A and B are shown apart, each in its own frame.
Chain A
Amino acid sequence: MPRVHVFARDHINTDEIIPARHLTTDVESELARYAMEDYDREFVRRVRPGDLIIAGADFGCGSSREHAVWALRGAGVGAVIAPNFARIFYRNAINNGFLALECAGIVEAFQDGDEAVLDLAGGTITNLRTGQTLRFVPVPPFALAVQRAGGWLEYMREQDAGAAGTPTPPSLNTPSTEAGHGHPGTPQEDAHA
């Protein structure tokens, strides 16, 4: 089961998610090393593939850098669940097939380290410790299809090929390992040393 990391503060911005000093690359595995660095320097050591971030309102405000999504995705984050999101981050998430789920009351319902079950088809998230289930704003069907395809570009390719079919939601507890649109290639030497 994915564990949750609760970042309760509202307005967590893209400078905190991936500081601009690290925008010298778009390689996801590189960016992943600095995910959330200016909010919680220890996060990258704690996060495990498929973990969820639960955050306060207006998550991802600030710059347009898609690197914020790439860094989180690269770090293995399966989804971010927050009361709402800043619009550019939200767009970037959709385009990369990364789940940004809007859910009122989410911060109050979880503690750091709780285990969660995310039911994308049913539109719910359950806290295994408390048994409480919350309903999130349904993901638009096209966004689900994009998520399933692994991103907007992949989705369009499928559309072009006529292979998209009826979108069916994936299981979120086994998050895609697709790399989104951050560079999936070989990590380069650390240029920040």
Chain B
Amino acid sequence: MTLPPQTLAEQILSHACGRPVYAGEVVTCAVDLAMVHDSIAPAVIRILTEELGASGVWDRERVAVAIDHVAPAATIQTATAQDGVRRWALEQELPHFFETGRGICHQVLLEERLARPGLLVVGSDSHSTAYGAVGAFGTGMGATDIALALATGQTWLRVPSTVLVRARGELRPGVSAKDVALFIARELRADGATYEALEYHGFDAFSLGERTTLTSMAVEVGAKAGIVAPTGAALADDEVPEWLGVQPGATYRRVLDVDLTALEPQVAAPNFVDNVTDLGEVAPSERVPVNVVYLGTCTNGRHEDMAAAARILRGRRVARGVRLIVVPASSQALQQAAEDGTLSTLLAAGAAIGTPGCGACIGRHMGVLAPGDVCVFTGNRNFRGRMGSPDARIYLASPEVAAATAVTGYLTDPRTLASLPA
């Protein structure tokens, strides 16, 4: 008997359950990898040890712990909490413990090839959807769920229906993966895929980093997971299981077509991720002054993002009155930027470089915003108060737009910068 075709989410959850499952079913299934980071780990460890009474985790090889959210620690209280996490990880002899400075959990797990095609990965972070870049089912959960997964290696899920994002064409210069991610939020809206999965077709030419930009933002339209079809050069070195791949005839609740060739630079204006327009439509008759440009995060803090900014900043200076803060997504990204001159270009332009990690994305350290600040941010959320003061304003944009804006001091289309004096 031939089974009905499945979405990528259904395929991965079927594999995790050991039987074919389809959208709508509530299943209990085996977790391949569980991730916890410093911001949530103290609660997870307390629930695990005190409430569940577990002496350890179910499988040390399948647990990753990252110190990335407030790293290095900014206050004595945070340092103390992190020390508890560190001691626990060392006592448990967890092989995948990533210290301060190694980078953002999602980027690190992809670099370390802990997140791989076909795996079910749960993380104590909503942007765990990022693992879909490599063809995994990655999903974020709260502390209780993660503690249960750490104790038992199991979790429960409702198999999600899927929204298909189908691209055609190629991005033009000055337009990048972030613009695609923002366009998807613009079209689907912030709850357009709540309780669902996104599946991305037509992105074979995208690098792993570009794919991560897309999948890290799947949660911003409410999605449980966002999975890129695991084909193309970016996955040439990965072992894609023979059971994983796009199946013609799979059921998609909705299809969103994206014409990459026609896409303009996008910007999400305060205070919502789906408050997106073409950059050219933001206050077209007047300039939007910006005094903070923040480049980093799991969405856009990789080497290629820094390099894209550096190409625009080469031979130019950050405008007076603007601070440009660059926080690499990982030590590997920083290393690469140091080796190929990207870092020198950024420093010469006047950038401040932070320790690899989440930076000010959650507003707890390393460049939080003051009341009245207007920030162009390459991250994934522009909620009120997200990066510090609730009276700051955050625009989400690509690294290219961020770099051009740093030069001029107002929201700037990178394609117009060529005509300005360097």
Taking Cβ atoms with an 8 Å cutoff, the residues of A that contact B are 10-11, 13, 15-16, 19-21, 23-26, 38, 57-58, 61-67, 69, 84, 86-88, 91-92, 95-96, 151-153, 181-183, 191
| Inter-chain contact A86/B222, CB cutoff 8 Å | yes
Residues in A with CB closer than 8 Å to B191 are 10-11, 57-58, 61, 84, 86
Residues in A with CB closer than 8 Å to B75 are 24, 191
Q: List 29 A-B contacts (CB under 8 A).
A: A11-B191, A15-B363, A15-B383, A15-B385, A15-B386, A19-B385, A20-B39, A20-B362, A20-B364, A24-B81, A38-B384, A38-B385, A38-B390, A57-B191, A62-B126, A63-B126, A64-B40, A65-B39, A87-B194, A88-B126, A88-B140, A91-B141, A95-B145, A96-B144, A181-B43, A181-B47, A183-B43, A183-B46, A191-B77
| Inter-chain contact A64/B140, CB cutoff 8 Å | yes
Residues in A with CB closer than 8 Å to B195 are 87
Expressed in whole angstroms, the Cα–Cα distance for A153 and B50 within the complex equals 11
- Given A64-B124, A87-B195, A181 and B77 contact (CB-CB distance below 8 Å): no
Nearest first, the 9 A-B pairs at minimum CB distance are A66-B142, A92-B142, A58-B191, A20-B362, A38-B385, A95-B144, A64-B140, A26-B43, A64-B126
Tell which of A11, A182, A191 touches B190, judged by Cβ atoms closer than 8 Å.
A11
Residues in B with CB closer than 8 Å to A26 are 42-43, 46, 143
Tell which of A11, A23, A25 touches B272, judged by Cβ atoms closer than 8 Å.
A11
Residues in B with CB closer than 8 Å to A96 are 144
| Inter-chain contact B46/A87, CB cutoff 8 Å | no
Interface of B is mostly: loop
At the interface, yes or no: B381 with Cβ under 8 Å from chain A?
yes
| Inter-chain contact A64/B142, CB cutoff 8 Å | yes
> Smallest Cβ distance from A84 to chain B, in angstroms?
7
At the interface, yes or no: B235 with Cβ under 8 Å from chain A?
no
Expressed in whole angstroms, the Cα–Cα distance for A21 and B145 within the complex equals 23
| Inter-chain contact A62/B145, CB cutoff 8 Å | no
Expressed in whole angstroms, the Cα–Cα distance for A57 and B274 within the complex equals 14
Task: Known A-B contacts: A61-B191, A191-B77. Give 13 more (CB < 8 A).
Answer: A19-B385, A20-B363, A25-B77, A57-B191, A64-B126, A64-B142, A69-B142, A84-B194, A87-B194, A88-B140, A153-B51, A181-B47, A182-B43
At the interface, yes or no: B224 with Cβ under 8 Å from chain A?
yes
Residues in B with CB closer than 8 Å to A69 are 142
| Inter-chain contact B47/A153, CB cutoff 8 Å | yes
**By CB atoms of chain A within 10 A, which of B124, B125, B143 has the most?**
B143
| Inter-chain contact B51/A21, CB cutoff 8 Å | no
Of chain A, the residue at the smallest CB distance from B191 is A58
At the interface, yes or no: B148 with Cβ under 8 Å from chain A?
yes
Expressed in whole angstroms, the Cα–Cα distance for A151 and B145 within the complex equals 12
**By CB atoms of chain B within 10 A, which of A26, A63, A183 has the most?**
A63
Q: Name B45-59 residues within 8 Å CB distance of A.
A: 46-47, 51-52
Expressed in whole angstroms, the Cα–Cα distance for A62 and B40 within the complex equals 15
Residues in A with CB closer than 8 Å to B14 are none
| Inter-chain contact A16/B385, CB cutoff 8 Å | yes
> Smallest Cβ distance from A156 to chain B, in angstroms?
8
| Inter-chain contact A66/B143, CB cutoff 8 Å | yes
Of chain B, the residue at the smallest CB distance from A58 is B191
At the interface, yes or no: B78 with Cβ under 8 Å from chain A?
yes
Expressed in whole angstroms, the Cα–Cα distance for A43 and B140 within the complex equals 28
A-B contacts at CB below 8 angstroms, number: 115
Of chain A, the residue at the smallest CB distance from B47 is A181
Expressed in whole angstroms, the Cα–Cα distance for A62 and B379 within the complex equals 13
| Inter-chain contact A16/B384, CB cutoff 8 Å | yes
Expressed in whole angstroms, the Cα–Cα distance for A118 and B145 within the complex equals 28
| Inter-chain contact A21/B194, CB cutoff 8 Å | no
Tell which of A38, A63, A95 touches B362, judged by Cβ atoms closer than 8 Å.
A63
| Inter-chain contact B222/A58, CB cutoff 8 Å | yes
Tell which of B77, B222, B388, B390 touches A24, judged by Cβ atoms closer than 8 Å.
B77
| Inter-chain contact B383/A181, CB cutoff 8 Å | no
| Inter-chain contact B194/A58, CB cutoff 8 Å | yes
Expressed in whole angstroms, the Cα–Cα distance for A62 and B222 within the complex equals 8
Residues in B with CB closer than 8 Å to A61 are 190-191, 222
Expressed in whole angstroms, the Cα–Cα distance for A1 and B71 within the complex equals 46
- Given A23-B364, A87-B195, A191-B75, A62 and B141 contact (CB-CB distance below 8 Å): no
Residues in A with CB closer than 8 Å to B390 are 19, 38
Expressed in whole angstroms, the Cα–Cα distance for A96 and B385 within the complex equals 26
| Inter-chain contact B381/A15, CB cutoff 8 Å | yes
**By CB atoms of chain B within 10 A, which of A19, A64, A84, A182 has the most?**
A64
- Given A15-B386, A24-B81, A62 and B381 contact (CB-CB distance below 8 Å): yes
| Inter-chain contact B43/A92, CB cutoff 8 Å | no
| Inter-chain contact B78/A24, CB cutoff 8 Å | yes
Residues in A with CB closer than 8 Å to B128 are 64
Tell which of B47, B142, B190, B384 touches A88, judged by Cβ atoms closer than 8 Å.
B142
> Smallest Cβ distance from A188 to chain B, in angstroms?
9
Expressed in whole angstroms, the Cα–Cα distance for A151 and B51 within the complex equals 11
Residues in B with CB closer than 8 Å to A183 are 43, 46
> Smallest Cβ distance from A33 to chain B, in angstroms?
15
Residues in A with CB closer than 8 Å to B124 are 64
Residues in B with CB closer than 8 Å to A153 are 47, 51-52, 144
Residues in A with CB closer than 8 Å to B190 are 10-11, 58, 61
**By CB atoms of chain A within 10 A, which of B52, B191, B195, B224 has the most?**
B191
